[in-house]
Structure 1
Amino acid sequence: MAIVCRTGAVTRADQTHTPLELPLADPLGADIATTYLEVFSGKAASLDVGIWETDPGRSRWDFTDSGEVIYVISGRMTVTEDGKEPQHIEPGDLVVFPVGWAGFWEVTEPLKKVYVIFE
């Protein structure tokens, strides 16, 4: 059976509220509020799929042990991989952070995304 999540119907009230913190990411400055709804988790925890929202803020990400694919539903951010040029991300963008990616996320507008975390 396919797992279907009508992303447009998911509100922050449907999601788990948590601050952005390690080991996921290191917020740089004030606390950054986030919410998420896990849609799927693999048996061996090697695949997690869900919806995640965050308030604006700057954070450091290090995908040492896993990678992430995101589809941006709303909001904007700039991602800057260490040693690379910044990339501007907006609604409708599909972004892959491969295993080994490290750098900064600067969320400039409240962001809502679908995520797939893989090992």
Structure 2
Amino acid sequence: MSAPHIHAAGTYDDLVDWGPQPDMIEGQSHSTGRLLHKGPGNSPETGIWVCTPGRWRLSVPRDEFCHFVAGHAFYRRDGSDEVIEVTPGTCVLFPAGWRGEAEIRQTIRNIYMLA
């Protein structure tokens, strides 16, 4: 397909089980998603990601742009007071190497792109 796309990405429900979230601190977050496109060498990669409540460690290996379309969460960066609250409509660019914790309070859904 020359322009991969998903209609109604905010409610699209044909998702694949991606399993439990690794590096759990509290709770039992579980992920589902749908890969939309993966380029040569896995870059870029884009798709839909859904994650249930819990708290876990996070290390971002590549630049990642996220458009959150559902849920409520906090991302806390290691070594700083930075706290990013996400709700529907929030967009965040996590630069490669960003490290911290994710605390999912209500199941989140985001449309992501890894560069």
Number of equivalences: 112
TM-score (norm 2): 0.88
Partner of 1:73: 69
Alignment partner, residue 5 of structure 1:
6
Partner of 1:117: 114
Residue 40 (str. 1) matches residue 41 (str. 2)? no
Q: Distance in 1 between matches of 2:25 and 2:20?
A: 10
What is the CA–CA distance in structure 2 between the aligned matches of 1:52 and 1:72, rounded to whole Å?
A: 9
Q: Any gaps of 5 or more consecutive residues in structure 2?
A: none
Give yes or no for the alignment of 1:83 onto 2:105.
no
RMSD over equivalenced CA pairs, Å: 1.4
Percent of matched pairs sharing the same residue: 26
Scaled by the length of structure 1, what TM-score is found? 0.85
Structure 1 spans left out of the alignment, 5+ residues: none
Q: What is the alpha-carbon distance in structure 2 between the residues aligned to residue 111 and residue 100 of structure 1?
A: 22
Which of structure 1's runs of 4+ aligned residues deviate more than 4 A? Answer: none
| Code of the aligned partner of 2:6 | C
